[in-house]
Amino acid sequence: MSSLFFFKFKAHLFDMEVVSFSIGVIGNVISVLMFLSPVGTFWRIIKHGSTEEFESFPYICTLLNSALWTYYGIIKPGALLVATVNGFGILVETIFVTLFLIYAPAKSRAKTAILVGILDVGFLAAAVLVTQLAMQRETRIDAIGFLSAGLNIIMYGSPLAAMRTVVTTKSVEYMPFFLSFFLFLNSGTWTIYALLVRDYFLLVPNGTGFLLGTTQLVLYAIYRKPRRSENDPERLQEEWQHECLISSSSHEQSH
C-alpha cells in the first residue's frame, strides 16, 4: 500500500512539473512578444535618423530589470525559464539602448550613457559582487529576488500614469489596447507559473501587473470613446510616444 501511495505521489509531482513547465514556456513566448513590442518605435527612429521626443530611461530600466531577473534565474535552482527569457530581454534592450546612443541628440546621448553606466553597469555589478562575496546561497537568492521584484513594481509607474490620464480625460487615447491586453496576458501567465512553483518573488510583481492589466481593460471598456480621427498625425505621434513609455515597464511582469 505504501509503495502504491509513493508511486502515485511521484506521478502527481511529475504532472505538476510538466504543467508548470508548460505554463512557463507559454509565459516565455508572451514575454518575447512583449520585449519586441517597441520594434516599430525603433524602426521609426532608424528611418528618421533621430530619437525625436522618445526617452531612453524606460529601456535602461528594463535592461537592468532583465539583467537582475537573469541573475536570479541562474542562481536559483529550477528557474531556467526565468533566466532564458530575461537573457533574451537583455539582448533586445541592449540593442534598443544602443540605438538611443547612436541616434539621440548630443545632450540626450550623454544622459543615456551616464544612466547606463550608473544603473546597467555600476548598480548591476555592485549587486552581483555583494551577493556573491558577502552572502550565502539562500540569502543571495532572496536579496536578488527582492531587488528584481521591487524594481518591477516601481516600473509600473507608467501604466499607473496612463490609467490616471484615462480617468482624468475620460478617453483611452493614451492607453493602447494591445499593450494593456498583453500586460494582462503576460502577467496573468507568470502569476499562474509563480503559484505553481511557489515563487513569491515572481508572484508579487506579476500579480500586481495582472491586477493593473485587468483594471486597464476595464477602463478601456468604460472610456472607449475615440476623440480624434485614427489618421490624425498628432494622435499617431502621441501614441508612438506612449507605446514607448508604457510597453517598457510592462515586460517584467514576466519575470
58 and 243 Cβ atoms separated by less than 8 Å: no
Query: Average pLDDT of 130-151?
Result: 95
pTM of the full structure = 0.80
Give the domain extent around 111: 19-254
Q: What is the pLDDT of residue 156?
A: 83
Quick one: which of 25, 64, 18, 31 has its CA closest to 187?
31
Query: Average pLDDT of 81-108?
Result: 95
| Structural domain total, the chain | 1
Asked if residue 37 is part of any domain, the answer here is: yes
Q: What is the pLDDT of residue 38?
A: 87
Residue 140, pLDDT above cutoff 80: yes
Taking the C-alpha atoms of residue 144 and residue 247, their distance in angstroms, rounded to an integer, is 24
Asked if residue 2 is part of any domain, the answer here is: no
Asked if residue 192 is part of any domain, the answer here is: yes
Asked if residue 234 is part of any domain, the answer here is: yes
Residue 70, pLDDT above cutoff 50: yes
Residue 1, pLDDT above cutoff 70: no
For 117, the grid coordinates are 553606466
Asked if residue 202 is part of any domain, the answer here is: yes
Taking the C-alpha atoms of residue 102 and residue 105, their distance in angstroms, rounded to an integer, is 9
Q: What is the pLDDT of residue 82?
A: 96
Residues of the chain with pLDDT > 70: what percent?
A: 82
Query: Average pLDDT of 60-71?
Result: 96
Lowest-confidence range among 23-32, 161-170, 175-184, 235-244? 235-244
Asked if residue 5 is part of any domain, the answer here is: no
Q: Phi-psi bin for 78: left (phi > 0), alpha (psi -120 to 50), beta?
A: left
Taking the C-alpha atoms of residue 34 and residue 169, their distance in angstroms, rounded to an integer, is 27
What is the DSSP secondary structure assignment for residue 174, as one 8-state letter? T
Query: Average pLDDT of 151-156?
Result: 88
What is the DSSP secondary structure assignment for residue 119, as one 8-state letter? I
Residue 187 CB partners (closer than 8 Å, separation 6+):
206, 207, 208, 209, 210, 212, 213, 253, 254
Distances (CA, A) of 7 to 17, 18, 19, 20, 119: 15, 17, 18, 20, 50
Phi/psi at 55 (5° precision): -105, 145
Query: Average pLDDT of 86-97?
Result: 97
Of residues 40 and 118, more confidence is placed in 118
Residue 117, pLDDT above cutoff 90: yes
Greatest C-alpha distance within the chain:
75
Residue 249, pLDDT above cutoff 70: no
Alpha helices in 76-199 (DSSP H): 80-103, 106-115, 124-134, 137-154, 157-169, 177-197
Distances (CA, A) of 226 to 137, 166, 169, 170, 193: 53, 12, 11, 10, 36
Mean pLDDT of the chain: 84
